[in-house]
Amino acid sequence: MRASNEKEQGKRGFLASLANIDRDATLLERAAISICAVTLFVVMAVGAADIISGEIFGVFLSFKVDMSGTLAAAAIFLAWPLVQRQRAHIAVDLFMPYLPRALKVAGWWLSQLLGLLVFGLIAYGAIELALDSVAIWEESAATLGYPIWPAKVACAAGALLTIMVLVLQAIGGSSREIPDR
């Protein structure tokens, strides 16, 4: 009786720890999506300033393309964790309602494993790039010479956070993700 009680307490402690990690991950996701929004706002503001400057003064901003590409990449990486948590991927689920539950569960686990593999490789590459970029305080080659290492750090952070979400989803299991119908 005592062993089962200790086992039950251990299980509750593990689940409480998971709930805390999940809460912290959600806070990190909110921070990432907030930075993503600011990043996209900067891209929009630079684009608008370029158009206005070009139309009124006949002078276009020379750094706009380089900056937009750098910031757009950071925004995409920072949005991934929330997209993964909400399962907001583009999906073609034409046949999903007709598949047996066992096949849906197998597909869910396959997608989790492939997601971990792909995002693991992406995170590895992004971390390598970020470390190299931070080591030299990398700046753009454009005329403005703005720092691009923060965008590379944001890409690595977004990829790592996406892996954390995938792991938490896997620990939670497919039963929380796939409806019984």
The structure's pTM equals 0.77
- pLDDT of 110-147, one tens digit each? 989 999 999 999 999 999 999 999 999 998 876 678 88
Give the chain's end-to-end CA distance (angstroms, integer): 38
CA dihedral sign of residues 164, 168, 173, 176: negative
Instruction: Answer whether residue 98 shows pLDDT above 60.
Output: yes
17-70 pLDDT tens trace: 666 677 777 788 889 999 999 999 999 999 999 999 999 999 888 888 888 888
**Higher-confidence residue: 93 or 72?**
72
Give SS3 for 147.
strand
127 to 109, 152, 175: CA distances (angstroms): 26, 8, 33
Residue with tokens 């805390």: 20
The residue with tokens 């959600």 is 26
For the chain, how many residues are written?
181
| Type of residue numbered 74 | A
Tokens of 35: 């930075």
Residues 125, 45 contacting (CB under 8 angstroms): no
Structure tokens at 57: 């003064």
